Amino acid sequence: MMWAEALDRMMAALAADGSLDLSRIAAVSGSAQQHGSVYCTAVAAERLASLDPARPLSSQLTDVFSRSDSPIWMDASTSRQCAAITALVGEDTLQRVTGSRAFERFTGPQIRKYAEMDPEGYARTSRIHLVSSFLASLLVAGGDAPVDPGDASGMNLMDLNTASWAEGLVHATAPDLERRLPVVRPSSTVIGTLSAYWVQRYGFPAARVVAWSGDNPCSLVGAGLIEPGVRGVSLGTSDTVFAYEQEPATDPSGSGHVFASPTGQFMALTCFKNGSLARERIRDDYSLDWSGFADALRKTPPGNRGRVLLPWFEPEITPPVADGGIRRYGLDPSDGPANVRGIVEAQVLSMARHTRWMGDHVRRIHATGGAAVNQEILHILADVFNAEVYRFEAGNSAALGAALRAFHADTLRQGRPLRWPEVIKGFVVPLETSGIPPNPEHVQTYAAVAPIHAACESHALYGGGDPFPLIAAFARSPA
Q: What is the contact surface with ligand ADP in residues (CB under 6 A)?
A: 236-237, 276, 279-280, 290, 369-371, 373-374
| Maximum distance among all Cα pairs of the chain, rounded to whole angstroms | 75
Query: Whole-number minimum distance, CB 289 to ligand ADP, in Å?
Result: 9
* Terminal-residue alpha carbon distance, the chain: 59
| Burial class for 450, CB neighbours closer than 10 Å (0-12, 13-18, 19+) | middle
User: How far apart, in Å, are the Cα atoms of 151 and each of 36, 97, 211, 235, 463?
Assistant: 10, 15, 10, 21, 38
Nearest approach, Cβ of residue 437 and ligand ADP (Å):
21
Q: How far is CA 342 from the centre of its chain?
A: 25
* Least separation in angstroms between CB 294 and ligand ADP: 7
Q: Give least dist CB 279 to ligand ADP, A.
A: 6
Give the residue with the Cβ less far from ligand ADP, 1 or 373: 373
Q: Residue 208 or residue 279: which is nearer to ligand ADP going by CB?
A: 279
**DSSP character at residue 466:** P
CB 242 within 8 A of CB 216: yes
* Non-local CB neighbours of 314 within 8 Å, separated by 6+ positions: 273, 274, 277, 278, 324
Compute the distance between CA of residue 457 and CA of residue 462 in angstroms, rounded to an integer: 8
- Shorter beta-carbon distance to ligand ADP: residue 40 or 381: 381
Measured in degrees and rounded to the nearest 5, phi and psi for residue 196 equal -55, -30
| CB 353 to ligand ADP: min, Å | 22
Q: Where are the alpha helices (DSSP H) in 194-237?
A: 196-202, 215-222
Burial of 277 (0-12, 13-18, 19+ CB in 10 A): middle
Q: Nearer to ligand ADP by C-beta: 12 or 277?
A: 277
CB-nearest residue to ligand ADP: 370
- Spatial CB neighbours of 439, under 8 Å, sequence gap ≥ 6: 302, 379, 382, 383
CB of 6 to ligand ADP, least distance (A): 15
CA dihedral sign, ordered 395, 219, 197, 208: positive
Hey, how many other C-beta atoms are within 10 angstroms of the C-beta on 162? 11
Toward ligand ADP, which CB reaches closer, 311 or 369? 369
Q: b/e per residue, 197-206, with b = 16+ CB within 10 A?
A: bbbebbebee
No. of helices (H) and no. of strands (E), the chain: 19, 17
Under 8 Å between Cβ of 115 and 176: no
User: Among candidates 382, 375, 351, 222, which has minimal Cα distance to 278?
Assistant: 351
Closer CB to ligand ADP, residue 348 or residue 455?
348
- C-beta of 222: minimal distance to ligand ADP in Å? 13
Task: Please report how close the Cβ of residue 384 comes to ligand ADP at its closest, in angstroms.
Answer: 17
Task: Return the number of the residue (5 or 284) whose C-beta is nearest ligand ADP.
Answer: 284
Minimum CB distance to ligand ADP smaller for 72 or for 373:
373
Least distance (Å) between residue 42 CB and ligand ADP: 36
Choice between 81 and 347, CB closer to ligand ADP = 347
Is residue 112 within 8 A of residue 156, CB to CB? The reply is no
- Is-cis flag, bond preceding 319, omega within 30? yes
The smaller minimum CB distance to ligand ADP, of residues 151 and 457, is found at 151
CB of 468 to ligand ADP, least distance (A): 30
Least separation, in Å, of the C-beta of 414 and ligand ADP? Answer: 34
Q: Is there a contact between 8 and 48 (Cβ–Cβ < 8 Å)? A: no
- Output 143 or 275, the one with its CB closest to ligand ADP: 275
